[in-house]
Structure 1
Amino acid sequence: MVHDEHNWHYKQALQDAKNKTPMPWIGIYVAVASLICSLAMAADVFHGFRHKKLWFPCKFFVLNAASLTLLSVAMKLPTDLSTDMPGKVDQLAKLSSTTFLSTAIGNFMPSLGSIDDKDIFMNITALTIFVITILTNICIQLGTGLLSNFLRVEHTAVIFCMLVLFVISSFSALTVSTTKKHIQMKYTDVHKKASSEVSEETETFTVEKLKENVKKYWMMAETGNPQFVMARSVTCSASGAICSLTTFILAEAEIRTFLTSTNYPYYFNSDYKSSIFFVLVIQSIGVLIGTIGPTFRWFTAIRSKLSEGRGKSSKSVLKAEKYWMERLVWWRESPLALRIRGQKRRKVVHITKNLILDFCINVQKVIVAASKSVLLVSVLLINPLWSCFHYYRVLKRKLVSKPSASNNNTGSESEFGPNAKLDLSCYVLYLEGEEELALQIMKNYRNATDHFLLNGRKKHPKYLKQLVEKSTGFMGVAKFDSDRVPSLNSEELPNYWSLPVVTLTTIAIALPNIGNHEVDRLLRSISEGLLYVSHVEKFLDGKGEMVNIRNAANIVWLEVDLFRKWLNEDLQKMALERKTSKETLERLGDIAKNIVMEFKTNMTGDLKENHLNWPIKAIAANSMYRVNQTLLLDHICNNDETDERLFEQLSVMIADILGACLTNLPRVINMKCFCSAIEKREKSVQHAAHLLGETEEILEVLQHYELPPLNPDEAAYIDEWRALIKQEMQITIV
């Protein structure tokens, strides 16, 4: 009997050991999930520092299904009720997990601004279930003694902070659509003012005015960024204070545990083996990194309040603005969409709904008042240190600046330049209660666009600039396609900017007796130029009528640029085989004519009616035929023309077309500045600033040219330029 009992215990021990075998791998799984979340938070911190956005927008670690899934894996230890974890490292790892979740919730808050209502509802619901599960499991472990008394106070404090963070985040999410609506209304009003100023300055548009316009729209886009609106809210700053508190609690628990632990063999004894130590280290580092963003938002709010100074009563300071409750009030006043029979039942449901929403409104008021109280207390605590620092700076400035006051005044003017005179305060978008914050925001972000302009200048197209400088006007726009060329179609295809450039470049490459370095330089110039031509064509072809022509130019250019071929014809081989430029032009013209005639033979009725739907090969061949015939007519009139001279004429013609096209860039930049989608606004203005920085030198060259009297819509199309220039040429001849 004793022997059987001994065997049973032995088998039970073997089974327990077998069951615990995968535990270290589970620990590694938890550590990897925690590491991924930590790296995502670290990436957001790096992105914020790199772009000097100390409110740290959420770009990588956002509230979505992927992050919640990773967090659910990382929270394996707090939800483990079956594994005996008596070791102090086990207990610390559970505390680090709950602290890690609290930090994650604090980091999620700005991302709420960039999520639509449906996704907010789904993600907050998932987060609610997740948080309730964690809280329930922790409470069970506290009640049953699975969590030791050694860290009971820390566990209780952290789960309380996590619950407060969750409630703050959930109620803050209710204001997202409301704040977006208010910001959008302000953006519309300010945009009308900015666009009217632009239309008044169109006649005398300069690069400096374009820079000012980009700065105005950048201020509007940056201050109206939904994530920034959420990040500068009082609830978000309060969450930063709570995240800092939970980090301090974890640090205190770890320091106390390490200082009081003496029995190291049992200290690391765990079913998770050494993986539990990796979980603790990774999550502790993740908490430290994840606290940076919320803490900076908290201190930024403190600094803004200190800069504002005093002047408001405590009652008005703690008052919740209307937009915090606007959505809840609207729900309370709106009838239910549910169909309920019976007047008494409808009455009961209506009263119940109002009671619930009244409770939520009061909770929202308490959250806002408590958040403002946290900020107010923080300001009162920091104010003595801030005053000492402020007085120190003033005293240092007086002592240092006195001997060289005149030099310092000059330096201050040169530091800010013309930007110091540009008042951007009226372009700051703010909510009710943020009036005094507007000036502080304007000071912080007034020169933010200089960074993007500088990055754009570093990538300026030097070869394109050299080519555009060859232009002496815009006569090449009218010369590349002559009216004397017999048409192959009853209705001629329209020209668009990129296709004539590609066609002329193709011909230039095929010319004999041209040095490789000249060809390479031209190709680099065209590669840079077509990038900006594509911006003009994409933004100004509003109806999309020229899509096929643009596609034809892009596909043909890819073949020309990479393989020196045009529709499978080897251009380098052609340049070597032909002895004169005339032979090359005739060869290319014959190939193009044959392609067009072959296509017309097999053309269906739909293509006959709409030439814009022609296939790419036919569009490219038609352009080549007309340009070739035009050049042949000029070549016949100038028999003494050399290959080098013809190549130079083609280069000047291309420069004229590119120059005329790029005069539309200011309009494109202005169009990029304005973006109706609130989530894409900032990136769109950033692209506009980059584009302005890249093309600044070219625009300065072009602004000295006398432009034809075309309205902006007409100036977007090369055929309008050709018609007007030819008309002026005829008037001059007469």
Structure 2
Amino acid sequence: MGILGCDAHGDLNDAEFSKPLPSIGIYVAVASLICGLAMAADLIHGFRHRKFWFPCKFFSLNAISLTFIAVGIKLSVDLNTSMPSRQDQLAKLSSTVFVCTVMGNSMPSLGIMDNNDLLMNLMALGILVITDVVNICIQLGTGAIYVFSEEHFLVVLLMLLMLMILCFSATTVPTTKRILEAKYKKRYDVAMKCPLATERTVAKKIQQDLSKFWMMAHTSSPQFVMARSVTCTASGFFCLLSAITLGEAMVRSYFLRPRSLGFCHGDSDYKWSTSLVLVCQTTAVAIGTIAPAIRWFTAVNFRCPIRGKKYYRDEFRVESYWTLWFSEKKQRPLSLWILKDRRYRKIAHNAKRWILDVCIVMQYVIVFGSKIIRYISVFCVGKILMCCYFVLRTGNTIAHSESEKSDSNPSSRQDLASFVLHLEGEDPLVDVMVRSNREATDHWIANGRKKQPVNLIELLEATAPISKGFEGIAEFDSNKVASLAHGEPPNCWALPLVTLTSIAVALPDVKPSSLKKLLNAVNEALDYVNKFERVLDTGGESANLRKAAEVVWLGVDLYHKWFDVDLRKLSKQQRTPEETLRDLMEIAKKEFSESWQMNLMVCMKHKPSHWPIKTLAANSMYRICQTILLNYESRDYGTGEALLRKLESTISDIVSGCFCNVAQVISVKCLVSAVEVREESVRGAALHLGRTEKILEILERRSLPKLRCDQMKNIDEWRAFYKINPSECNNKSNTVYPESDELRLTVE
């Protein structure tokens, strides 16, 4: 019996070595299919969000995608496995085209990488591409690839060109980010000084500012900057050309004289798996080519003569930002502490300058060549587009007249144009970017309106006639309540809401439908309140309080339990609301004492806001229950339903007070410092405005205390104000948002 690959005579037995190869073929096919699905997800995301430059959200150059790419090119780098049949040779070609496709598809993702990631990912991609090219050349020389030689030569050339384009385009990323970030800050100052329009509602005022911030954030998005560059246009053309090459080879081998190509008989060691690889990689190539092809076609379509504009004067000028990174590196000294001799340091510095000069020349050649490709594309495709234009002239005339009607406010369009952030040589694109994005904010806000918190809106509208102000904020926790320990933790917005709702669940004689509506409304409210507090609590002082609210709400919402106390069981006991409140107060007091004793060192060492979660929750329950009991002496709450109405009013007041910070929250979301996520943040702010627009309308009927923006975000500041000015609790003289610009989007 042979062991370790040897037969019974001790000779090498390699018959078993090829058995795993079909499984490896499946592995290659699955890796290629995963890449194809990720590129398809980016394609769908682009169409769905009307981003026809197709940002890389699911498929980009990173360690994961490079691993899948390395697996996907297994067949094209296999030097010694015989692959005689038609599908074998086509699979080798498809593996090579697959690399071109992923490079063209993922080029915008260069914009979201930092310098270290750019260097490492491009080095890894370069090693992978060079390895693939060398192995293909070896196979062409040895005869392992004996058909489609011309196609392989063309695809290898395209692959090397695309690698050079990617590497040299990456050098502009730090420069363009710096230039556009400086422009963003300047335009932001201008936006803040612009007077508000005549719109009187808060939502409309915020929407006007959001339109400006969206235009600034979108046009300075690093991915969009890369996607609209001339090198990305050329890369899209090369990607399309490589896909056409694969298509030509497949048509020629299957339909046009397949016998003349001289395919050999027999199967490779990969057997049937090569057909699976060919199908998966061809599908991935077809899907992955769509986005680069559309980017190329969009650039060509914009510059076609049918638009009545010609930009040939500056068509071949290479802008300064393309070589600025190399120029800056030339002037910086080398940190060669090993070389002590001045003569060697001078030689090294001169060598560095010479290399950078070569890089500058290559950058000029790449950009100039990309512009030539774009010009030739315009010249060739323009004739086809002109024919289509004249055929569809009538329809275009109607569409043009409709667009003119929609553009009834040219001053607004011109105002937005001043907030388009563009690079040198992109002036002709300003009008295009305004036309394609000026209604984006309205679109996101409209999408947000489809997901409004219906139950919360019903609660606020139902309690609006009862409470014209925010008296519930002042009344939910009385200053007359005795403290359970030395020191008192601050209040946050979420924990009182959770505690009040827990009390409502425990009340006797309450209709299940009323309780269900309240739970749904509070659940929707907490989704916003938690987001607000995370944004506004920059110092993290209320972090433990928020965690306490989340833990308590999990039990109340899912199990109707406050920690281990079954609130529904408590509500079914034949007791009055007052007795139920006393039970809850005693339970909370007991839980507080036990938690305090167990965490005595922590509680004594840290300030109250950093107490354990259970301690904070028990303290909140005790104080709010005792406050309601104190009010029982002066107010007739009556049945459980009557007390529930009061609790709903208090909850509504607290939620309304928290929602008065919408402008500040949106301000922070619009001014995220990281340029890579700013566009997504502004889009989220627009969606958020759409969801809360109805709530803002309801809040405008309430009166607002005279608090500064930095005070309004803290519930204890509201309580301190009402303590000093108790008459302001129900003052109807102020509207919820004053006419001053105090609550406009501001940087603090």
2:267 to 266, 269, 274: 269
| Conserved? CA contact 2:80–2:144, under 8 Å | no
User: Deviation of residue 353 (structure 1)?
Assistant: 1.7
| Cα contact 2:77–2:135 (8 A) shared by 1 | yes
> Superposition pairs for residues 463-478 of structure 1, below 5 Å?
463-469=455-461, 470-471=463-464, 472-473=467-468, 474-478=470-474
2:119 paired with 1:121: yes
- 1:638-717 matches, within 5 Å, as 638-639=635-636, 641-717=638-714
1:585 to 2:581 alignment: yes
Pairing of 1:257-336 with structure 2 (within 5 A): 257-258=253-254, 259-262=256-259, 269-306=267-304, 310-314=309-313, 316-336=314-334
Structure-1 residue corresponding to 2:354:
355
| Distance (Å, rounded) in 2 between the aligned partners of 1:608 and 1:86 | 77
For 1:368, give the aligned amino acid: V
Name the CA shift for 1:644/1:732 in 2 (closer, same or farther; >3 Å): closer
User: How many Å separate the matches in 1 of 2:280 and 2:543?
Assistant: 52
Change (3 A) 1:270 1:485: closer
Displacement after TM superposition at 1:21 (Å): 3.2
Q: Distance in 1 between matches of 2:19 and 2:630?
A: 87
Distance 1:639 1:146, change over 3 A: closer
Partner of 1:438: 430
**Identity, % of aligned pairs?**
45
Q: 2:109 aligns with which of 83, 100, 111?
A: 111
Change beyond 3 A, Cα 1:332–1:732: closer
Which position in structure 1 is the counterpart of 2:56? 58
Which residue type is aligned with residue 78 of structure 2?
D
- 2:509 aligned residue (495, 510, 513): 513
Deviation of 1:196 (Å):
4.4
Alpha-carbon shift at residue 580 of structure 1 (Å):
0.9
Q: 1:336 to 1:644 in 2, by over 3 A?
A: same
Q: How does 1:185-584 map to 2 (within 5 A)?
A: 185-197=182-194, 206-258=202-254, 259-262=256-259, 269-306=267-304, 310-314=309-313, 316-339=314-337, 340-392=339-391, 394-396=393-395, 412-413=405-406, 423-469=415-461, 470-471=463-464, 472-473=467-468, 474-584=470-580
Quick one: distance in 2 between partners of 1:418 and 1:621? 60
TM-superposed deviation, 1:606? 5.9
C-alpha distance in structure 2 between counterparts of 1:459 and 1:104, whole Å: 36
Given residue 246 of structure 1, which amino acid in structure 2 is its aligned partner?
S
C-alpha displacement of 1:458:
2.0
Which residue does the alignment assign to 2:739? none
Task: Map 1:155-174 to 2 at 5 A.
Answer: 155-174=152-171
1:435 alignment partner, SS class = coil
What are the ranges of 5 or more consecutive residues in structure 2 without an aligned counterpart? 1-8, 731-748
What are the superposed Cα offsets for residues 500-530 of structure 1, whole Å, 9 maximum, x if unpaired? 2222212222111111111111111111111
In structure 2, relative to structure 1, the CA distance for the partners of 1:549 and 1:271 (3 Å cut) is closer
1:380, CA displacement in angstroms?
A: 1.5
Q: Distance in 2 between matches of 1:534 and 1:417?
A: 39
- Given that 1:44 and 1:61 are in contact with CA atoms closer than 8 Å, whether structure 2 keeps it comes out as yes
Deviations 1:44-79 (A, max 9, x none): 222222222111111222112222222222222222
Distance 2:52 2:361 in 1: 32
Q: 2:34, 2:729 → 1: CA distance?
A: 71
Q: Deviations over 1:674-693 (max 9, x none)?
A: 11011221221222122112
What amino acid is aligned across from residue 425 of structure 2 in structure 1? G
**Secondary structure of the equivalent of 2:418?**
helix
C-alpha deviation, 1:358, in angstroms: 0.9
2:675 partner SS: coil
C-alpha separation in 2, matches of 1:592 and 1:480:
16
Q: In proportion to residue count, which structure has more helix?
A: 1
Using the alignment, how far apart are the partners of 2:727 and 2:229 within structure 1? 65
**3-state SS in 2 of match to 1:335:** coil
Does structure 1 retain, via aligned residues, the 8 Å contact 2:496–2:620?
yes
Please give the alpha-carbon distance, in whole angstroms, between the structure 2 residues aligned to 1:516 and 1:176: 59
SS of the equivalent of 1:507 reads: helix
Give CA deviations for 1:365-422 in whole Å, capped at 9, x if unaligned.
0000000111111111222333344455554465x699xx8xx69x944x99999668
Residues in 2 aligned to 1:397 and 1:179: alpha-carbon distance in whole angstroms: 36
Tell me the SS of whatever aligns to 2:652: helix
Paired AA for residue 163 in structure 1:
L
Distance in 2, Cα, partners of 1:194 & 1:165: 40
Report the RMSD for the aligned CA atoms in angstroms. Answer: 3.0
Report which stretch shifted further, 374-383 or 301-310: 301-310
From the superposition, tell whether residues 265 and 586 of structure 1 become closer, same or farther in structure 2 (CA, over 3 Å): same
Measured after TM superposition, the shift of residue 169 of structure 1 is 0.9
User: Paired residues, what number?
Assistant: 713
CA contact (8 A) 2:498 2:549 kept: yes
Counterpart in the other structure of 1:631: 628
Q: How far 1:661 moved relative to its partner? A: 1.3
Q: Please give the alpha-carbon distance, in whole angstroms, between the structure 2 residues aligned to 1:80 and 1:600.
A: 68
TM-score by length of 1: 0.90
Change (3 A) 1:732 1:586: closer
In structure 2, how many angstroms separate the alpha carbons of the residues matched to 1:489 and 1:22? 71
Query: Do structure 1's residue 38 and structure 2's residue 36 form an aligned pair?
Result: yes
| TM-superposed deviation, 1:622 | 2.0
Give 1:99 deviation, angstroms.
Answer: 1.2
Q: Secondary structure at the match of 1:680?
A: helix
Report which stretch shifted further, 568-577 or 598-607: 598-607
What amino acid does structure 2 have at the position aligned with 1:165?
A: M
The one-character-per-residue Cα deviations of 1:24-63 (angstroms, maximum 9, x if unpaired) are: 3332232222222222222222222222211111122211
Mark the runs of 5 or more structure 1 residues left unpaired by the alignment: 1-10
What TM-score, normalized by structure 2, do the two folds share?
0.89
Tell me the CA shift for residue 601 of structure 1.
6.3
Deviation at 1:362, TM superposition (A): 0.3
Closer, same or farther: CA 131–248 of 1 in aligned 2, 3 Å: same
Tell me the distance in 2 between the aligned counterparts of 1:731 and 1:86.
Answer: 89
Distance 1:691 1:202, change over 3 A: farther
- Alignment correspondent of 2:175: 178
**For residues 267 and 645 of structure 1, what CA distance do their matches in structure 2 show?**
89
Aligned AA for 2:426? E
The whole-number CA distance in structure 2 between the counterparts of 1:224 and 1:242 is 26
Give 1:484 shift: 3.0
Structure 1 pair 611–120 and aligned structure 2 pair: CA distance change class (3 A): same
In the alignment, is the contact (CA less than 8 A) between 1:463 and 1:524 conserved in 2?
yes
Q: What do residues 256-307 of structure 1 show as CA deviations (whole Å, max 9, x unaligned)?
A: 1222224999556333222222222222222211111111110111123238
Query: Which residue matches 1:3?
Result: none
State the SS of the aligned residue for 2:87: helix
